[in-house]
Chain A
Amino acid sequence: MPQEDHDLVFQKTCALLKVFNVNNIELTKDTDIATELEIDSVAILDLIMELEDSYDISFPMNLMSELRTVGDLVKSVQKLVSEK
């Protein structure tokens, strides 16, 4: 798969986040996933599974501790795609 640029991964991630964005807040790269989106820990893991399938990557749970914002998530996806 050709590597997608940061904006495209961001848009796809935002699309996947839509179902979890119950308060319909505007998503930016600085949006804090846990506190601003009020997503619980299980839902974040479910989102990771969606991203794994979208990009055909394995996204270990161990990386979760490094993820705070939507931008962090996008960077991790890009890194895992580039390592495929």
Chain B
Amino acid sequence: MSIFDKFGPLSDLYNSILEVGDDPFSVCMAEILSPTRALIDGREVLLAGTNNYLGLTFDPECVRAGQEAMAKQGTGTTGSRFANGTYANHKALEQALAKFLGYQYTIVFSTGYQANLGVISGLTGQGDTILIDADCHASIYDGCKLSDAETIRFRHNSPEDLDKRLTRLGQDGGNVLVIVEGMYSMFGDVAPVAEIEKITHEHDAYLFVDEAHSYGVFGDKGRGVSEDQGVLDKIDFYVGTFSKSLGSVGGFAASNHPEFELLRCVSRPYMFTASMSPANVASVLEAVHQIEKRPELRQTLWRNSSRLYDRLHQLGFELCADKGPIIAVKMPSREDAVTCWNWLIQAGVYVNLAIPPGTPNATSLLRLSVSAAHSVEEIEEIGEIFSRLAEMRRDAMPTSSDASAKSPLPV
């Protein structure tokens, strides 16, 4: 018996996907032409699945800051934050984020994944309880696994269900940490953070909000869903990533709790990994300023999102959430999703494919993320390609009196 035998069913599924066409899970971008275009398999493809919400990956100021930092400070830190891997710019970035968000303390981690792992496993331990929204990201689930606390799920975006489970727990849960995301990465739906904050604190629990997809995107100043719903100053632990609107890699956590800095001495994902490279830190520091200085980036993002959302809606696609920069198109089956994904990349647009196992309610999705860097023409081009997809699917449907032929596409 091989150590790989347990992956048999997964391997069968993977092979069945490969039989349809390209491998959706190892797309190689041979050349990145801009925040919205790349060469894939020798073809120029329009990118509509990068989470590059503000298009800052090619911002001249961010690129210049990264280049200068690499020239002056080297290619890497070769050490963890806990040892030799904290440079002046790591501290400057922490201070800039704290000031922008209005928190007293901020800790920078090497990735967004590690920020979640590091804060969750650092804060909670044996005798504590974590309540997580059922649709939370894998990094949150993994952070709970790394902790010795007991983990309980509550129904997605349901403050009532959270209240019920906190009540059920009573006084038996030790310190209780409630975890939600600002905007959920798969469907793009937004959490009722204000209601969840109220319930969490009524039960004397702590609230952790992961704003990975919403930092720079929501709120008057781009400080996320917590700002948008007026509770930014009431969040106990605010976590974010640098790999989406900030256009780099890394993550952070912010808090007003006076003992928060202790995490630097107890959080293993902070202590036992190399810190962010100087170039990454410098480009993120510049991106934090760009987001603060240029609200028009956010306005363009929302205008683009609205335009594409309306187009896909008019075409009859079933969309999983309200208007926003993540547009998740629900597909009737895994096979359909894989076929359509292949069709789209051949037609010249890259989107993300999300299929079970592991997706909420076993849903199959074509997931688009919009960027402020998309031109109006590019948004129209994506819409046009989806219009052809809808046509292709309509043609493929039965023309008899079969009831399914009357339904809009592809639902």
Cβ-defined contact, A49 with B134, below 8 A = yes
Checking B134, B152, B154, B359 against A59 with a beta-carbon cut-off of 8 angstroms, the contacting residue is: B152
Cβ-defined contact, B151 with A41, below 8 A = no
Q: A40-B356, A40-B358, A41-B357 are in contact. Are A56 and B168 (CB under 8 A)?
A: yes
Interface string of B202-215 (1 = CB under 8 A from A): 00000000000000
**Cβ of B268 under 8 Å from chain A:** no
Q: A58-B169, A61-B144 are in contact. Are A49 and B153 (CB under 8 A)?
A: yes
A47: min CB distance to chain B, Å? 11
Checking B153, B155, B168, B359 against A61 with a beta-carbon cut-off of 8 angstroms, the contacting residue is: B153
Q: A40-B357, A42-B358, A56-B168 are in contact. Are A61 and B134 (CB under 8 A)?
A: no
CA–CA, A46 and B134, complex, Å: 8
**Cβ of B380 under 8 Å from chain A:** no
Cβ-defined contact, B151 with A62, below 8 A = yes
**Cβ of B150 under 8 Å from chain A:** yes
**Cβ of A15 under 8 Å from chain B:** no
Interface string of B146-161 (1 = CB under 8 A from A): 0000111111000000
CA–CA, A62 and B359, complex, Å: 20
What residue of chain A has the Cβ atom nearest to residue B8's Cβ?
A35
CA–CA, A57 and B172, complex, Å: 12
Interface size on B, residues (CB 8 A): 22
Q: Please, which residues of chain A bring their CB within 8 A of the CB of B361?
A: 42
CA–CA, A61 and B129, complex, Å: 11
Question: Which DSSP category, helix, strand, loop or mixed, fits chain A's interface?
Answer: helix
Checking B165, B359, B362 against A58 with a beta-carbon cut-off of 8 angstroms, the contacting residue is: B165
What residue of chain A has the Cβ atom nearest to residue B165's Cβ?
A58
Q: Please, which residues of chain B bring their CB within 8 A of the CB of A42?
A: 356-362
Cβ-defined contact, B150 with A60, below 8 A = yes
Interface size on A, residues (CB 8 A): 17
**Cβ of A43 under 8 Å from chain B:** yes
Cβ-defined contact, B357 with A61, below 8 A = no
CA–CA, A46 and B359, complex, Å: 12
Q: Please, which residues of chain B bring their CB within 8 A of the CB of A58?
A: 129, 150, 152, 165, 168-169, 172-173
- Which residues of A (29-54) have their CB < 8 Å from a CB of B? 38, 40-43, 45-46, 48-49, 52
What residue of chain B has the Cβ atom nearest to residue A42's Cβ?
B358
Cβ-defined contact, B362 with A62, below 8 A = no
What residue of chain B has the Cβ atom nearest to residue A61's Cβ?
B151
Cβ-defined contact, A61 with B152, below 8 A = yes
Q: Please, which residues of chain B bring their CB within 8 A of the CB of A48?
A: 153
Interface string of B316-350 (1 = CB under 8 A from A): 00000000000000000000000000000000000
What residue of chain B has the Cβ atom nearest to residue A59's Cβ?
B152
Cβ-defined contact, B152 with A41, below 8 A = no
Q: Please, which residues of chain B bring their CB within 8 A of the CB of A40?
A: 356-358, 362
Q: Please, which residues of chain B bring their CB within 8 A of the CB of A43?
A: 362
Checking B134, B168, B362 against A45 with a beta-carbon cut-off of 8 angstroms, the contacting residue is: B134
- Which residues of B (125-158) have their CB < 8 Å from a CB of A? 129, 134, 144, 150-155
A48: min CB distance to chain B, Å? 8
A45: min CB distance to chain B, Å? 6
Q: Please, which residues of chain A bring their CB within 8 A of the CB of B362?
A: 40, 42-43
Chain B residues close to A by CB (< 8 Å):
9, 129, 134, 144, 150-155, 165, 168-169, 172-173, 356-362
- Apart from A40-B356, A61-B150, A62-B150: 17 A-B pairs, beta carbons within 8 A: A38-B9, A40-B358, A41-B357, A42-B358, A42-B360, A42-B361, A42-B362, A43-B362, A48-B153, A49-B154, A49-B155, A59-B152, A60-B129, A60-B152, A61-B144, A61-B152, A62-B151
Q: List 20 A-B contacts (CB under 8 A).
A: A40-B356, A40-B362, A41-B357, A41-B358, A42-B357, A42-B362, A49-B154, A52-B165, A58-B150, A58-B165, A58-B168, A58-B169, A58-B172, A59-B152, A60-B129, A60-B151, A61-B150, A61-B153, A62-B150, A62-B151
